[in-house]
Every structure is written in structure tokens, then in C-alpha cells.
Amino acid sequence: GQQLNQSPQSMFIQEGEDVSMNCTSSSIFNTWLWYKQDPGEGPVLLIALYKAGELTSNGRLTAQFGITRKDSFLNISASIPSDVGIYFCAGHSGGSNYKLTFGKGTLLTVNP
């Protein structure tokens, strides 16, 4: 099945550093979503974006919906150890079945 192109695959950073990850698609989406998944858990929604060009923040997290509607990025500022996990982007195109199309994920490791 289709998966979005998410990069980087993994990141190893020091506590306090900023992080940036992005996601691209060959298809247009009406909504972009960013999730975090901890081991043994399901994805938890971090940020939802609904309009091209939209920039939205949630605490130390900032995400943007690309102008072309085919890409999005997520920034995490001043990382802390609890930011460790897998981050997924997901696109939602609307239509009749409302499925989410996910990226392969970015594994973030934060060294204290």
C-alpha cells in the first residue's frame, strides 16, 4: 500500500537540541497529521493541519502544511528525554472512506 516519504528515518540528538523532520507525497492531501508512537502503544495525535500554508504549534512542537498540499514538516524545539519515540506523518484526503495514509516514521533518540 501507499506510504508517504518521511525523513529522516532516525535521529540521534542531545537533550536541548532542536529537531526537524518532514514528509512528502505524490498525492494532494486536505489534512496533514503528526502522531507519536511509544513502544507498545498506538499512535497519539500531536498536531493536525487543515489548510495549505498553515503553521500550527503545540507547546514545543510546530508543524506546517505545505503550500503544494503534498508536504509537511514537524519541528521540535529544546528536546527532552521524553520526546523519544517514533513520529509519523499522516495524510487525509477526504473522500468517501476517510482513511489515513501514513509515513514510515522517524525514530527519535534523545541523549540526556
How far is 75 from 73, CA to CA, in rounded Å? 7
Shortest Cβ 55–another protein spacing (Å): 16
7 binds another protein (CB under 8 A): no
Site size for another protein, by CB under 8 A?
Answer: 30
90 near another protein, rule: CB under 8 A: yes
Q: Least distance from C-beta 47 to another protein, angstroms?
A: 9
Give the torsion sign (CA, 58, 62, 66, 71).
negative
- Residue type, position 46, single letter: L
* Contact (CB, 8 A) for 107 and 9: yes
Among 3, 7, 20, 68, binds another protein (CB under 8 A): 3
Residues 19-78 that bind another protein (CB under 8 A): 30-31, 33, 40-45, 48, 50
The interface region with another protein, picked from 55-63, 65-73, 75-83, 90-98 by CB under 8 A, is 90-98
75 Cβ neighbours under 8 A, 6+ residues apart = 18, 19, 20, 61, 62, 63
Distances (CA, A) of 32 to 3, 65, 68, 69, 111: 13, 7, 12, 9, 29
Q: Which residues bind another protein (CB under 8 A)?
A: 1, 3-4, 6, 30-31, 33, 40-45, 48, 50, 88, 90-92, 94, 96-105
